[in-house]
Structure 1
Amino acid sequence: MTNESTIGSPMGTPPLLSIEGMIKDFPGNRALDNVSLQVGSGEVVAVVGHNGSGKSTLVKILAGVYTSDGGTVELSSQDGFDTELHIIHQDLGLANELTGIENLGITHYHGASSFAPFDRKKERAKARELIGRFGEPFDVDIPISKLAPAQRSIIGIARALDGWQHPRNVLILDEPTEALHATEVRVLFDAVKKLAADGAGVIFISHRLDEVLDLADRVVVLRDGRKVADEPRSDLDHDRLVSYVTGIPVGEAEHGENARRAGEVVLDIKGLTGEILEGVDLQVRSGEVVGVAGVLGSGREALPAMIYGSIDADVESFTLDGRPYLKRSPRESIRRGTAFVPGDRAKFGSVRPMTARENVTLPELKSLTGAGGAISLKREREHAQTLMQEYDVKPPRAEQVFAQFSGGNQQKIVFAKWLRNRPSLLLLEEPTQGVDIGAKQAIYDAIDRAASTGAAVLVCSSEAKELVRLCDRVLVLRDGRIAAELAGDELTETQLVIEGYGLKSEDEL
């Protein structure tokens, strides 16, 4: 049950930030559905939720990246103080080619005074003072591309806090601890608490629930775009918070009901390393659906593209259908019977100005060519029309431009494109992202059919419910490594969240 008795500033004063009835729609998906929250002076409010819950959309609306489709945002103006929003995004917004000094002072380099020479000694002293709040100073005279991730984070945070004219502002921290070590996290939290004690309001967005429970005065939980909880920290523990995030009481999570029989090993990888991944081993068998879970930044997003060959990666051994496959490329992967449905269908999974017919036949045209090597338009059109009817694409118009279909129907076309050749290995990244519930079920049915006909399927998804529904077993990535493998009665939404966030087991909570 939601408890909002503590909302607002102490002593009944108006909140610094008030969001009422926020709505944001994307094609086929309502990302925010009537979300309201307030932040008071001296208050740290955590906003949590699984991937896709609406956290990032909310921040982008506050930052002006997105325009809302409904609702209001009000900032306090009282006692001569106009409240400002200061946002620290996960990507920090720093210029890698500039030094730490230049990044820290970049917002002040404007106006006529910018033509005057800078006092480098004073700039250096000021930079060291700013980062000194977060521990030992480091070299601020080198390009920040040469600094450690934690040091770059500290520069971004220090820059956001510099130059406040008064303390009654709102600071939004979007996953600020992703690159920080435990000691640096503690220093950051001390600084945030001091900021709040001076009168600021803070929104802390994180998937690390233990940090949320450590820092926040109040916790707001989003799920599927809706606010499902708004409670004081004192009323929450791990069990209760996990239940809010998943929507299922701890101990009552649903289990998958898959009863497949796996065949021979199709994909066998040892020591896959690249970007954030560090020595990942995995196997997928014919007729098996294996899931990959993990929070944003765990390595889940890069894994299928590394296997496919569109992102470079090192590997100790890699076999596909029993044959070594060390030098991978998308062209060779297709030739060897691999299909890849990427998470961003608009950018990587389709050619939007082309027709549905052209998209659905693109990976393999040889079977549609005549004796002279020319594509038979009649045969191609008939083939595309049959596939669109099989996958229930609406409207079933092969000559309609791909971009003119709804998101769900676009995804059906992408699936039809790859499944038409019966791949031996099917790689899926966020297979139902941005589709409605009807299209989602159709895609689930297509994945089930692919496995039943012998395909080895790897599903990388941020949706715990989806992984439980589809998979025989799920590998949980955390910090680039496999932290757990769940199957059978252990494969529940609650356990996926616990393992993904690195929490304690249910028995230890």
Structure 2
Amino acid sequence: MLDDARGSAAGSPPGDAALLRIAGLSKSFPGLKALDDVSLEIRSGEVVSIVGQNGSGKSTLVKVLAGVYAADSGGVIEHGDLRFIHQDLGLVATLSTIENLDIGRRAPAWGLRPSPRRSERQAAEQAVRRFGGDFDVRTPVGRLSAAERTIVAISRAMRDWSPPDGVLVLDEPTAALGGEEVGRLFEAVRRVAEQGAGVLFISHRLDEVLGLSDRVIALRDGRVVATGDAGQVDHDWLVNAIAGRVLSTHRPHRQPPGADVALRVEKLSTDVLHDVDLRLRTGEVVGVSGLLGSGREQLAEAIFGATRRHGGSIVVSERTVPADQPRASIDNGVAFVPADRARYGAVMSLTARENLTLPQLRSLRRTFGRLDRAAENRETREWVDRVELHPALPDRPLRLFSGGNQQKVVMARWLRIMPKVLLLDEPTQGVDVGAKAAIYDLIDTAAAAGTAVLVASSDAAELLSICDRVLVLRHGRVAAELPRDEFSEARLLSESFDPAPSSPPIPLSTSSR
């Protein structure tokens, strides 16, 4: 069923002239050909999805279209109006939502006079509400959650949008969004297509690709390897096209968790969380589920000490960890992989090797404190092989790796210190199916070695796949605890919502007495 589409316009249907036409496009970097003779077309009213593993060339293609990268000579790109929602969002962290929405817009009619702030605020609030946003639009976006920042970027791209004869390009726009917010975005995308625009959609979430696309194009190693119309493709088709092989979704059975409690959290309270209690045993993988704003996004960082807590205690292997001190958490054997790896999880300007060894250099020191380069290189090579880093270039700056390979390095930097507790927030966000399987293997290996793992994720299928039990948060509190034999996607979702109010009893009729 995989149609070979190399060297031709990938699966373009007959009809009107293409709104976006790419022919023979290539892009080379030193030692790497990121795009290799890519051709495709998008026509009026089409939603075309591009799938592929991290490093397959998807983001490079978007950056070439946006003018960030110059393509190699010989290729052809023809297009009308292009609008972008980029994977890195392109927001200015120090500016408010109101100000970010105004970036790139024509100056208002009142010129140099002060703008009407109330109308601006109301317009910004209306714009973000279209996509489920309910936050103060005057707050600097750097203080917003990842999901809220995504909503700001979507709102900006869709503002003043006139779709006919244009193409909307979305590069992983839903990475930090929950189901309801994704649904709102998709409604807007379908309206854009119905009005005659073309849509180029990139996502690692295969259910989104299946639910939204008219046509799917698969990239692998920078080349178009397969195309399929909506009626042809299913989940297995996508996985096989992306990976080039069949990937097993079955998780190996882990040994039962140990009896010892590795992490004890009692009455943990922050601005968002209220009296949260939990226990993690050695070798146990515990999931955290909940809607956006439930506290799911804050729990791991609060335990680690990256968020100020107002009350409660954290005990690791019977030792109390001081509040709000990440260094003390690390010293007590707690590791934390945040959802936003680019801002908080790694130093993107450093090499993969430097990021790997940064948390624990003591073991690599010689006498008088000098770094043992030979020992560092040996340990780096071991972890590069263990996590299957691609390309296997440890001295390459981390920012030049794909998202999935960056996440492998972030995971490895903590696993090499053999933590007692591993806190993961959205560990596979923005990661392809191949890298996702590799990260799950790392989690399994850590648990098998006795590490207690806490996984906060908006992906219910992910939690069902890897966890021994799941905690469901609602309004900052633990609303339910589900053992493995009791949870399903439907159960997780139902526990995330407020229970329906009980109906008042129906009074007995007295008319017949």
TM-score (norm 2): 0.57
Distance 1:278 1:70 in 2: 59
Distance 1:86 1:339 in 2: 39
| Structure-2 change in CA distance of 1:261 and 1:158 (3 Å) | closer
> Residue 507 of structure 2 corresponds to which residue in structure 1?
none
> Residue 15 of structure 1 corresponds to which residue in structure 2?
18
SS class of match (1:199): coil
Contact 1:7 1:40 in 2 (8 A): no
Q: Write out per-residue CA displacement over residues 352-383 of structure 1, whole angstroms, 9 at most, x where no aligned residue.
A: 88998998587475x999xxxxx83389749x
| Structure-2 change in CA distance of 1:266 and 1:225 (3 Å) | farther
> Residue 390 of structure 2 corresponds to which residue in structure 1?
none
AA of the residue aligned to 2:107 = Y
| Structure-2 change in CA distance of 1:228 and 1:155 (3 Å) | same
> What's the offset of the Cα at 1:424?
2.6
> What's the offset of the Cα at 1:266?
0.4
> Residue 78 of structure 2 corresponds to which residue in structure 1?
75
| Structure-2 change in CA distance of 1:349 and 1:325 (3 Å) | same
SS class of match (2:45): coil
Structure 1 residue corresponding to 2:375, chosen from 370, 381, 385: 385
Distance 1:475 1:70 in 2: 52
AA of the residue aligned to 2:367 = S
> What's the offset of the Cα at 1:264?
0.9
Distance 2:343 2:467 in 1: 29
Contact 2:341 2:407 in 1 (8 A): no
Contact 2:52 2:218 in 1 (8 A): yes
> What's the offset of the Cα at 1:179?
6.3
Contact 2:10 2:227 in 1 (8 A): no
**Alignment of structure 1 residues 439-450 onto 2, 5 Å:** 448=445
Distance 1:144 1:169 in 2: 32
SS class of match (1:161): coil
> What's the offset of the Cα at 1:207?
6.0
**Alignment of structure 1 residues 51-66 onto 2, 5 Å:** 55-66=58-69
Q: Write out per-residue CA displacement over residues 441-481 of structure 1, whole angstroms, 9 at most, x where no aligned residue.
A: 89968984x65554434578999999999x66485999999
Distance 2:165 2:475 in 1: 39
| Structure-2 change in CA distance of 1:325 and 1:2 (3 Å) | same
| Structure-2 change in CA distance of 1:246 and 1:14 (3 Å) | same
AA of the residue aligned to 1:265 = V
Distance 1:358 1:377 in 2: 23
| Structure-2 change in CA distance of 1:455 and 1:87 (3 Å) | closer
Distance 1:295 1:304 in 2: 15
SS class of match (1:108): coil
Distance 1:260 1:70 in 2: 58
> Residue 267 of structure 1 corresponds to which residue in structure 2?
263
AA of the residue aligned to 1:336 = N
> Residue 307 of structure 1 corresponds to which residue in structure 2?
303
1:376 and 2:367 matched:
yes
AA of the residue aligned to 1:308 = F
Q: Write out per-residue CA displacement over residues 405-436 of structure 1, whole angstroms, 9 at most, x where no aligned residue.
A: 787999999889766765433456769x99xx
AA of the residue aligned to 1:107 = R
AA of the residue aligned to 1:266 = A
Distance 1:358 1:2 in 2: 39
1:170 and 2:161 matched:
no
Contact 1:131 1:158 in 2 (8 A): no
> What's the offset of the Cα at 1:211?
5.9
| Structure-2 change in CA distance of 1:49 and 1:327 (3 Å) | farther
**Alignment of structure 1 residues 61-460 onto 2, 5 Å:** 61-66=64-69, 72=75, 74-76=77-79, 83-89=80-86, 91=89, 93=91, 97=95, 100=98, 103-104=101-102, 106-109=104-107, 143=138, 152=152, 155-161=155-161, 167-174=164-171, 192-193=189-190, 195-205=192-202, 215-220=212-217, 230-235=227-232, 253-259=249-255, 261-269=257-265, 283-288=279-284, 304-312=300-308, 318-325=314-321, 327-340=323-336, 344=341, 360=357, 363=360, 365=362, 376-377=367-368, 381=372, 385=375, 388=378, 392=382, 404=395, 423-427=419-423, 448=445, 454-458=450-454
Distance 2:98 2:323 in 1: 39
Distance 1:319 1:44 in 2: 50
| Structure-2 change in CA distance of 1:208 and 1:466 (3 Å) | closer
AA of the residue aligned to 1:309 = G
Q: Write out per-residue CA displacement over residues 136-172 of structure 1, whole angstroms, 9 at most, x where no aligned residue.
A: 9x9xxx848699889856751443515x7xx312122
After superposing the two structures, state which structure 1 stretch, 479-488 or 315-324, moved more. Answer: 479-488
| Structure-2 change in CA distance of 1:38 and 1:287 (3 Å) | same
After superposing the two structures, state which structure 1 stretch, 420-429 or 458-467, moved more. Answer: 458-467
> Residue 506 of structure 1 corresponds to which residue in structure 2?
none
* Unaligned 5+ runs, structure 2: 386-392, 495-513
Distance 1:193 1:68 in 2: 30
Distance 1:2 1:96 in 2: 46
Distance 1:26 1:460 in 2: 36
What CA RMSD, in Å, does the superposition of the two structures yield over aligned residues?
6.9
SS class of match (2:159): helix
Q: Write out per-residue CA displacement over residues 210-269 of structure 1, whole angstroms, 9 at most, x where no aligned residue.
A: 66555543344568977675333344567876887798989x743324336523120234
AA of the residue aligned to 2:260 = E
AA of the residue aligned to 1:335 = D
| Structure-2 change in CA distance of 1:246 and 1:312 (3 Å) | farther
> Residue 46 of structure 2 corresponds to which residue in structure 1?
43
| Structure-2 change in CA distance of 1:98 and 1:258 (3 Å) | closer
SS class of match (1:107): coil
AA of the residue aligned to 1:377 = F
Distance 1:182 1:415 in 2: 29
Contact 1:2 1:231 in 2 (8 A): yes
Q: Write out per-residue CA displacement over residues 25-73 of structure 1, whole angstroms, 9 at most, x where no aligned residue.
A: 8999987777654211232224457888765554344323456689946
Contact 1:9 1:43 in 2 (8 A): no
Distance 2:348 2:139 in 1: 37
Distance 1:335 1:10 in 2: 63
SS class of match (1:173): strand
Percent identity reads 35
Contact 2:10 2:224 in 1 (8 A): no
Contact 2:256 2:283 in 1 (8 A): yes
AA of the residue aligned to 1:320 = V
After superposing the two structures, state which structure 1 stretch, 195-204 or 414-423, moved more. Answer: 414-423
Q: Write out per-residue CA displacement over residues 289-319 of structure 1, whole angstroms, 9 at most, x where no aligned residue.
A: 5678999999988765443323446776533
